Structure 1
């Protein structure tokens, strides 16, 4: 009697090491992988994941087993929202987002999501639960909710409600973090749908900013002309570079003869590494920009001063390769730059604005000069032109009114309109 050999896939599944789980193809054509992982309550449970290919199913199982081996309970639909958020935050999101973003996510989960929804079962979470939770965030005093009003160092009103509620922007951010976590549960087939996506929140009004006018910008540059960081302020106002992009700029990124700069790094302060030069946040932020003539001149002067400071520092010099540094070559702290900028505004007799408002000033002045929105998008490094158009909608509206008035004057042919 002849025997039919088992498929190669079955032989591979049997040859997997103990604890790696099993992988096999189902009758419906999908691939199923099963294995034991750490579950809430320090127990072990057998889980099953699925994929359209053997490789996909195996990758899903390997990811869960790896998290389990690190001591992270693998949440399932029968676990609580708190357990799943902890698993997602420390086992998934930590590998996909930047450290500072992960820190904000963790604060959001700890302060709002776990206290508000943590006790509910993940599989029983409904859109109504999410909507009720978000409505509560909008109306509940956070000092009372987090018991911060028991000590004056945390709250200004001891024993009394100060009525400190979250801003609409923060509520929207909490909602987006929850949507991201539940979306991963859907991808892992722990949930059939993302109930948080069924909850519509009001779009918060964009933060108001007051960019510098052309006369104010000229006064700022004139005041900064004798400043050690004059070239930095020139770049910030004439090109719209972000603070981190300016501080993360290396000399090798500049082509002063060709008049260009390559933007692909950003200096950030992180909790673990302190000041660190990282990649820009998005691929759209990686860009090559043309340098204005004024910036080329100021950067050449800055390079000469940089060399003088290097010689003066001697063995105390730190060769970081950065364009803008301390007098000893070390990276500039973003918070220190913000304080220096505030003092510069005071010396110039200008109103206090954020450093980021220099970027808004660049875009606003370019729009007012009739520069195309696509060009501004590429200069600023926005991922989508909708972001550029949305932020500066008020400027475009003002320009529309000026255009309409110009047309009206042309149609009047120099004569005032009739009052008949």
Structure 2
């Protein structure tokens, strides 16, 4: 049988031999001594012929020589994800990203794949998971394709790290087939519907928050993380510097994901007036609570100054919209509503993107292409009327 010399760690030659034991053949590979100087050996039997044993031994020697050998382990997918992967990555990523990974791991991956040995996980097993998530066997409501793709991204990242840590020989998630996610239909309110909502919640405890969302296009966490130190009511601007994110237990403060996300937003006079009234009411709450007030400078907070829970805010918005008889949209759709109304009002796409904190103009154009296409058609008609229409046609006035 061939022998070889390992090229890593300056080790001694890797040698082996083969012998017949009973009716099958077994190989023994002598490794370099361990750190303690003790002998190390790899052996595997059960080969039906000497040739099969030689081939397997040479394959192992080649792997040892080029550094691709992976030590066999019985660690399960669940043990790897919860005991090795999550502790290792927690301090390296944003809290919101870790919370998303952790939810995918505990709610979807570990219950279904957790008992499989990590090195025995296969692409078909992963595909079966995706199928079950999309179409549960009990006939219940499945997850959306986009959600399953996010779960796939989490698993792929975990297995990529396992490959980098030399726990597996390949990332089997790379060969899996996550569903193709189609872009969900965007639902927004018209200007009269938005006005009806804001009028209908004007006396609610969080009226100022709803106004801020609707008239700035801020993300949920951006509104909840806003501090008075970031607001210039006289200058009519609000700086987005901090966000609040939901965790498995409670909330946490974070920062905008991108440089574009850290931005300054202009405020209109009505929003400034709402915020001034809100500040006076908040000061009254602070006096009523007394020494127990949690003074962390949040603009929108619980009566004791503590952060509002993002998920609770989303549920509250849905409940208020339903009570007012308005079309059901998500809280995030207030952001889309703001952008859509701004574009229809003639605000430049770049300005809208800057207000929303988009990373690039293309993101805004792509997200709201249904609006920009309508505006482009309107522009074509206006230019045609300018050329062929009556010179004194009032509709030809430049907007």
Structure 2 length-normalised TM: 0.68
Aligned equivalent of 1:321 = 297
1:355 Cα deviation from its structure 2 partner:
1.5
| 3-state SS of 2:254 partner | strand
Q: Quote the Cα distance in structure 2 between the aligned partners of 1:233 and 1:136.
A: 39
Structure 1 contact 81–117 (Cα < 8 Å) conserved: yes
Query: Of the candidates 345, 358, 363, which is equivalent to residue 387 of structure 1?
Result: 363
Query: Of the candidates 305, 308, 311, which is equivalent to residue 281 of structure 2?
Result: 305
1:282 Cα deviation from its structure 2 partner:
4.2
Structure 1 contact 134–175 (Cα < 8 Å) conserved: no
Quick check: 1:261 aligned with 2:258? Answer: no
Structure 2 contact 126–176 (Cα < 8 Å) conserved: no
Q: Quote the Cα distance in structure 2 between the aligned partners of 1:120 and 1:318.
A: 47
Quick check: 1:287 aligned with 2:263? Answer: yes
Quick check: 1:119 aligned with 2:96? Answer: no
Quick check: 1:358 aligned with 2:358? Answer: no
1:368-379 aligned at under 5 Å gives the runs 368-379=344-355
Structure 2 contact 251–309 (Cα < 8 Å) conserved: yes
Structure 1 contact 242–356 (Cα < 8 Å) conserved: yes
Query: Of the candidates 207, 217, 220, which is equivalent to residue 230 of structure 1?
Result: 207
Structure 2, unaligned runs of 5 or more = 1-7, 11-33, 41-68, 391-399
Structure 1, unaligned runs of 5 or more = 1-23, 27-34, 37-44, 46-74, 145-160, 415-420
Q: Quote the Cα distance in structure 1 between the aligned partners of 2:211 and 2:301.
A: 16
1:203 Cα deviation from its structure 2 partner:
3.8
RMSD of Structure 2 on Structure 1 (CA)? 3.7
Q: Quote the Cα distance in structure 1 between the aligned partners of 2:103 and 2:290.
A: 44
| 3-state SS of 1:288 partner | strand
Structure 1 contact 247–331 (Cα < 8 Å) conserved: yes
Distance 1:370 1:86, change over 3 A: same
Structure 1 length-normalised TM: 0.65
Aligned equivalent of 1:93 = 89
Q: Quote the Cα distance in structure 2 between the aligned partners of 1:111 and 1:343.
A: 26
| 3-state SS of 1:285 partner | coil
Q: Quote the Cα distance in structure 2 between the aligned partners of 1:388 and 1:347.
A: 32
Structure 1 contact 137–165 (Cα < 8 Å) conserved: no
Structure 1 contact 138–168 (Cα < 8 Å) conserved: no
Distance 1:76 1:289, change over 3 A: farther
Distance 1:239 1:107, change over 3 A: closer
Aligned equivalent of 2:310 = 334
Structure 1 contact 270–276 (Cα < 8 Å) conserved: yes
Structure 1 contact 77–121 (Cα < 8 Å) conserved: no
Aligned equivalent of 2:130 = 137
Structure 2 contact 226–242 (Cα < 8 Å) conserved: yes
| 3-state SS of 2:105 partner | helix
Q: Quote the Cα distance in structure 2 between the aligned partners of 1:313 and 1:78.
A: 60
Indicate the structure (1 or 2) with the bigger Cα radius of gyration.
Answer: 2
Q: Quote the Cα distance in structure 2 between the aligned partners of 1:306 and 1:371.
A: 34
| 3-state SS of 1:119 partner | coil
1:331 Cα deviation from its structure 2 partner:
3.0
- After superposition, the C-alpha distances for 1:226-270 in whole angstroms (9 at most, x for unaligned) are 444332222111111122221221111112222222212122343
Number of equivalenced pairs = 327
Distance 1:376 1:198, change over 3 A: farther
Quick check: 1:205 aligned with 2:182? Answer: yes
1:104-183 aligned at under 5 Å gives the runs 104-110=100-106, 112-113=108-109, 115-116=112-113, 119=116, 122=119, 129-130=122-123, 133-134=126-127, 137-138=130-131, 143-144=136-137, 161-162=138-139, 164-183=141-160
Structure 2 contact 80–118 (Cα < 8 Å) conserved: no
1:358 Cα deviation from its structure 2 partner:
0.8
- After superposition, the C-alpha distances for 1:283-315 in whole angstroms (9 at most, x for unaligned) are 442222222222222212222222233334444
Q: Quote the Cα distance in structure 2 between the aligned partners of 1:237 and 1:140.
A: 34
| 3-state SS of 2:215 partner | helix
